[in-house]
Amino acid sequence: MAKKKSSGGGLMSSAGLMRYYDADESAVRFDPKTVIIIGVIFGILAITLGIIYETWP
């Protein structure tokens, strides 16, 4: 059988490509529940402001 060459560190960054865990280190992470809660709050705020300023249909 042929021997496999060890690639060392996996996929090396060539031609502008990065390893997936290199890009993940600096990413901002949010819990999915937090994103949904913020979306609901902004939705309620938009509807409330639309009713107050009489732009709501």
Cα(19)–Cα(53) distance, integer angstroms: 50
Contacts (Cβ under 8 Å, ≥6 apart) of 19: 9, 10, 11, 12, 13
Q: What is the pLDDT of residue 5?
A: 55
Higher pLDDT, 57 or 24: 57
Helix, coil or strand: residue 3 = coil
* pLDDT per residue as tens digits for the range 4-55: 555 555 555 456 665 555 556 667 888 999 999 999 999 999 999 999 999 9
Q: What is the pLDDT of residue 52?
A: 93
Q: What is the pLDDT of residue 57?
A: 73
Q: What pTM does this model have?
A: 0.53
